Amino acid sequence: MKLAYREFGNGPPLLILHGLFGQSDNWNTLAKQFALQGFRVFTPDQRNHGLSPHDPIWNYKVMAEDLYEFINEHQLNGPIIMGHSMGGKTVLFFEHLHPGIASKLILVDIAARAYEPQHDQVLEALNAVNFNTISSRKEAEAVLNSYLSDFGTKQFLLKNIYWEDEANKRLNWRFDLNTITTYYNNIGVEAPNYVSATKTLVLRGEKSPYVSEVDLQNYRSRFSQVSFETIVGAGHWVHAEKPKEFFEAVLKFIKD
């Protein structure tokens, strides 16, 4: 699948993969900062997200193959690959299927283990938004308010609303909500068990429950060259909550 993407700067290639319900422009500010430091930065939309095609086949194997196709299409040599949450799990599957392609890996607030479902309430809220009767972002927000209390989560989701048919005032979600709802359990699975020599940074938020000390120990068994950074005061959205600290930690790793 040919993925939609944004590109910034020149130099060694750095790919950044967003998480569930995200899209490439979530990373615009940081991507531009990395570009100013001498990197050619790509921020693809993973399948069923952003401007990339929708497809009923949705699992980490096909997302890893999408990434492989993207790297080949753009003739990227030794790319650094960073992924947040779902994007990080895509990176783990990619390294298993195509070892030796990436020069470095950065896994942002995601463990290799399987996760219990964590987005049931979000999916219920999203599916309650009926665009046959709702014709404004404000109306959609009112529906989400009935299900979700966290302001940041709601604003993050609402960024995905667009005019599917502006002439007829029809809105829709950019992500493929039907496929995500149907195959959501594919996203919580454990990464394959393998050993990699690729230099890897695992970066987590201090307040996030996604990566525990046990998970760090598991990463030590999977990667022979692994280092860890914990961003103080950050939750799961490390890059959005503490962008300066996040940028500095990643930059130190990729310039080393």
CB-neighbour burial class of residue 72 (10 A; exposed 0-12, middle 13-18, buried 19+):
exposed
52 is catalytic: no
236 is catalytic: yes
Catalytic residue among 18, 84, 119, 236: 236
Helices (H), 159-212: 177-182
Angstrom distance (rounded) from CA 105 to CA 102: 7
Angstrom distance (rounded) from CA 32 to CA 16: 12
Angstrom distance (rounded) from CA 212 to CA 84: 16
In the numeric block, the tokens 């569930």 are attached to 20
Catalytic residue among 24, 52, 85, 208: 85
**Ramachandran quadrant class, 169 (left: phi over 0; alpha: psi -120 to 50; beta: rest):** left
Residues annotated as part of the active site: 85, 236
